[in-house]
Structure 1
């Protein structure tokens, strides 16, 4: 199926279009949101890392799903957890604690501090959480690809 393309080229070729589109949307959202004076390099870097993690996790779900129909069924609980948990963390201390260790929670923390013009919007904890999620998602993708690769 992909005889002229190796695995790394296929991965990068699949990742880049989605990632570039997400970066463009993140940049368009910035002026539309009405926020001004935020640190744009930190915004772009943090949203790009979170977008990469999201796309890679989407790859994993796609590899593990039996067909296209089951992909949306499998991905819905993950989307709800990753997207809603940081929002609901303001209402519950337990959710706030858990949200600190999810990449969307770290991103939410960074974005809130950027909007508040905090002089240090990124903490060591945020960096470690995002880096750990990026590494873990890549490792899980490699395992899922070896088990259920597109050529199988």
Structure 2
């Protein structure tokens, strides 16, 4: 990887690193996923409240929509369409959620890391996620959220 400026860094880490880190964040963001589901009138609110686990089942792309650097801190704006499978611990509720994730992620102390030594495109997911500490203050909004109740189909 040859990182010479912020644009090259975004090109190098956007898809291979940030996509995986943001996906892992979304999978742990159950409270906000529940908030996005509550206004959907055709879902049972009790089922939404029971949700305890989520997995990004599919995400076709990770789009960096912009970035800014200030005092060595890089703030990245992104969009990520996703299909999320969410279920309750006892599997009495099982939803297939389609949403459009938008948000920001912050890379503090940008110049403290040797980005040229990190080739995320050659790493497996556990190794990529071991570097997730390089990203802080991830904020995700779930837009255009819809869901299918798959409880009856889940065996």
TM-score normalised per structure 1: 0.28
TM-score normalised per structure 2: 0.28
More helix by share: 1
